[in-house]
Amino acid sequence: MIKGKEVNVISRPILYSFRRCPYAMRARLAIQYSQVPVELREVVLRDKPADMLHRSPKGTVPVIITPANQVIDESIDIMLWALKQNDPDGWLRDDAESLIEQNDGEFKAYLDLYKYSDRFPDFPAEHYRSQAEGFLKRLESLLCQSPFLLGESLSMADMAVFPFIRQFAHVDKAWFDAANYPKLQFWLQQRLNSIMFAQIMEKYPKWQPDTPGVMFGGG
């Protein structure tokens, strides 16, 4: 269920986003795919706009402000919000929850330890990486059975997980490219090479208060 709170009525949805944030990436992927038009406001995390913090005090991106007077500030809820409006290729799947939960929980925790291992000197980076590999092995096994994580076509699970595997791979790209995950490597490269990824990674200037954002998603 999407949780929201009352805000002033606006004419179109507003999306507060940060280009490199994996949570914001997956929200933009769902919005771009569903072609739901939004006003994108690019945020600089060290200088978050007061309007965003007023509407979502936890201060993280992505955040959607809808014309229905809701604040949606969880990336999966934003994906669901977009896909429930338009899902032409059937991205919504009942069996996606387990995979997304493992990605957002255990795997993300080890990913952060691996990426910022200098802040957690109790163990070397390789230790944290090995802990994260349990999830990589699960994905590799799934991709040995079908071209996508949940079968023969893309789903919400692929797009929810992809930005985090991208982030993991870039911590030590040479190691990832040489690791024994050929199906996962191919799957990741497909996503990176896609037109949709290029579209959602276009660079925009920092949004300034009292100025319009960038039209994003639908026409």
pLDDT in tens, 55-82: 999 999 999 999 887 999 999 999 999 9
Residue written as tokens 């490199």? 20
Residue written as tokens 């200098």? 118
Residues 110 and 135 in one domain: yes
Nearest one of 80, 68, 30, 71 to 53, comparing CA atoms: 71
Residues 171 and 190 in one domain: yes
Q: What is the mean pLDDT of residues 83-89?
A: 97
Q: What confidence score (pLDDT) does residue 9 get?
A: 55
pTM check: above 0.85: yes
Nearest one of 66, 67, 68, 21 to 42, comparing CA atoms: 21
> Residue 21: which CATH number?
3.40.30.10
Across the strands, what pairs with 40? 15, 214
Residues 150 and 205 in one domain: no
Residues 173 and 203 in one domain: no
Q: What is the mean pLDDT of residues 94-113?
A: 97
Per-residue 3-state assignment (H helix, E strand, C coil) for 9-31: CCCCCEEEECCCCHHHHHHHHHH
Domain span at 151: 97-194
Residues 124 and 155 in one domain: yes
| 1 has a pLDDT exceeding 60 | no
Q: What is the DSSP string of 83-99?
A: HTT--TT----TT-HHH
Q: How many domains does the chain have?
A: 2
Q: What angle do CA 183, 99, 103 make, to 5 degrees?
A: 85
| 109 has a pLDDT exceeding 50 | yes
| 3-state class (DSSP) for residue 151 | strand
Is 68 part of a structural domain of the chain? yes
Average pLDDT, the chain: 94
Nearest one of 88, 83, 61 to 73, comparing CA atoms: 61
> Which segments of the chain are extended strands (E)?
14-17, 38-42, 63-65, 71-72, 214-216
pLDDT in tens, 30-48: 999 999 999 999 999 999 9
